[in-house]
């Protein structure tokens, strides 16, 4: 039990280091060479001297607040026809918590927490099963634990597949709408499309 407590405290201390800020930004240098290839690098020394006059510096900036983005796109949305505005529903805003911001910043955090929670739960199940006098009851606890884990994994995979399928279907519908709403070529006086 002492070893378990030691490893748990050690793992918790390592886990606390992940909460420290890890944001770093860099300047990127973008230039087009004589073959027309666009090159992007983060080292100024690697840009040839002849391309430095046409080179563009790309700086990373923090993203704007959602309200500022809505104000900047407000004028653009007025130019869009009314039919397209009615077809696009507004997504629901979910409350932005510190945990969701942290998981958005570190994509690997949520799966890691699931794995750590599963391992801690497994250690707890082993401790409970070892305290029981009946071996049949401890086997039943092991079986129900693994069954619960597999049901959780299946449910998570099924939700992922449903969300992915819905996203693919939505993208296909948008592509079809865009392809049917293309402008038709201008008609000549004879009623035939103009040759280009």
Q: Is the pLDDT score of 91 beyond 70?
A: no
Residue 185: DSSP 8-state: P
The tokens 């707890």 sit on which residue? 124
Q: Is the pLDDT score of 16 beyond 60?
A: yes
C-alpha closest to that of 152 among 112, 114, 125: 114
Question: What local confidence, expressed as pLDDT, does residue 93 receive?
Answer: 58
pLDDT-based confidence at residue 18 (cuts at 50, 70, 90):
low
Q: What is the pTM of this model?
A: 0.39
Question: Three-state secondary structure along 83-140?
Answer: HHHHHCCCCCCCCCCHHHHHHHHCCCHHHHHHHHHHHHHHHHHHHHHHHCCCHHHHHH
pLDDT-based confidence at residue 80 (cuts at 50, 70, 90):
very low
For residues 19-42, average pLDDT: 76
What is the number of other CB atoms lying within 10 angstroms of the CB of residue 170?
A: 10
Q: Is the pLDDT score of 190 beyond 50?
A: yes
Question: What local confidence, expressed as pLDDT, does residue 193 receive?
Answer: 56
Residue 18: DSSP 8-state: T
To the nearest whole percent, how much of the chain has pLDDT over 70?
A: 66
- How do residues 144-157 score in pLDDT, each as one tens digit? 999 998 998 899 99
Question: What local confidence, expressed as pLDDT, does residue 76 receive?
Answer: 46
C-alpha pair distances (Å), 170 with each of 70, 92, 106, 166, 177? 23, 17, 27, 6, 11
C-alpha closest to that of 12 among 84, 92, 103, 113: 113
For residues 161-177, average pLDDT: 91
Distance in angstroms (rounded) separating the CA atoms of residues 187 and 195: 10
To the nearest whole percent, how much of the chain has pLDDT over 90?
A: 20
């Amino acid at each position: 039990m002492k070893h378990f407590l030691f490893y748990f405290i050690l793992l918790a201390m390592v886990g606390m280091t992940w909460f420290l800020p890890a944001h770093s930004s860099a300047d990127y240098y973008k230039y087009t060479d004589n073959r027309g290839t666009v090159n992007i690098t983060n080292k100024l020394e690697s840009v040839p001297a002849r391309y430095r006059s046409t080179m563009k510096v790309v700086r990373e900036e923090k993203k704007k607040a959602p309200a500022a983005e809505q104000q900047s796109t407000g004028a653009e949305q007025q130019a869009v026809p009314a039919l397209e505005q009615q077809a696009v529903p507004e997504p629901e805003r979910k409350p932005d918590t510190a945990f969701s911001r942290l998981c958005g910043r570190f994509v690997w955090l949520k799966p890691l927490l699931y794995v750590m929670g599963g391992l801690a739960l497994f250690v707890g199940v082993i401790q409970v099963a070892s305290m029981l006098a009946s071996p049949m009851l401890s086997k039943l606890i092991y079986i129900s634990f693994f069954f619960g884990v597999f049901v959780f994994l299946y449910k998570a995979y099924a939700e992922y597949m449903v969300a992915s399928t819905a996203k693919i279907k939505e993208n296909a519908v948008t592509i079809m709408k865009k392809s049917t709403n293309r402008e038709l070529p201008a008609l000549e006086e004879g009623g035939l499309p103009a040759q280009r």
